[in-house]
Amino acid sequence: MGELGVCLAHTQDGAWFAIDDTCTHEDCSLSQGDLEDHAVECPCHGSRFDLTTGDVLNLPAVVPVRTHRVTVEGEAVRVEVEDG
């Protein structure tokens, strides 16, 4: 079992999202980026990723990131990461 970085986002409307932390363009950390509605902007070259689908919203990245299911129980936030 290896390690996987996750970008956990809590948006202004109270929703939680989790996507792979590594940008598919050049491996920057998406958790260091800015949130804008339901998207995160990569801090390195500005590609934005849709938090609900993982889709790329603008270049230079072209490959989507994986999304992960998030559940909230009380003060516990759980992220389910599937293998692969």
**Binding residue count for ligand FES, defined by CB under 6 A:** 10
| Interacting span for ligand FES (CB under 6 A) from 6-14, 42-50, 62-70, 75-83 | 42-50
Per-residue DSSP letters for 1-59? -----EEEEE-TTS-EEEEESB-TTT--BGGGSEEETTEEE-TTT--EEETTT--B-SS
Task: Determine if 54 is a binding residue for ligand FES (CB under 6 A).
Answer: no
CB nearer to ligand FES: give 7 or 61: 61
Among 11, 35, 38, 45, binds ligand FES (CB under 6 A): 45
